[in-house]
Amino acid sequence: MTETQTTEPVIQINQLTKSYNHRPALNNVNLQVQKGETVVIFGPNGAGKTTLLKILSTAIKPTSGRVSINGFDLKKDADEIRRCIGVVSHHSSLYGSLTACENLEFYALLYDIVNIRQRAREVAATVGMTSCLHDRIDTFSRGMQQRIAIARSILHNPSVLLMDEPETGLDQQAVSMLWSLLEKGEYTILLTTHSLERGLELADRVIILNKGKISLEEPAGDMDLKSCRQAYFDLTGRRS
Ligand code: ATP
pLDDT digit of tens for each residue in the chain (240 aa)?
A: 444 556 899 999 999 999 999 999 999 999 999 999 999 999 999 999 999 999 999 999 999 999 999 999 999 999 999 999 999 998 888 999 999 999 999 999 999 899 999 999 999 999 999 999 999 999 999 999 999 999 999 999 999 999 999 999 999 999 999 999 999 889 999 999 999 999 999 999 999 999 999 999 999 998 999 999 999 999 998 766
Query: Which residues sit with their C-beta closer than 6 Å to ligand 1?
Result: 20, 25, 43, 45-51
Nearest ligand 1 atom to the CA of 212 is: 14
Q: What is the DSSP string of 105-168?
A: HHHHHHTT-SSHHHHHHHHHHHTT-GGGTTSBGGGS-HHHHHHHHHHHHHTT--SEEEEESTTT
pLDDT of residue 91: 86
Out of 27, 49, 190, mutate this one to test ligand 1's pocket (max ligand atoms within 8 Å of CB): namely: 49
How open is the CA angle 41-190-98, to the nearest 5 degrees? 115
Q: CA dist 176 to 36, 119, 163, Å? A: 20, 22, 16
pLDDT value, residue 92: 83
The Cα–Cα gap between 48 and 70 comes to 23
How far is ligand 1, taken at its centre, from the CA of residue 124, in Å?
A: 31
| β-bridge partners, 20 | 23
Cβ atoms 84, 69 nearer than 8 A: yes
Tell me how far the alpha carbon of residue 14 lies from the centroid of ligand 1, in angstroms: 20
Ligand 1 closest atom vs CA 50? 7
pLDDT value of residue 1: 41
Sheet containing 188-192: give its strands across: 85-88, 160-164, 188-192, 38-42, 205-210, 213-219
Give the per-residue pLDDT at 36: 96
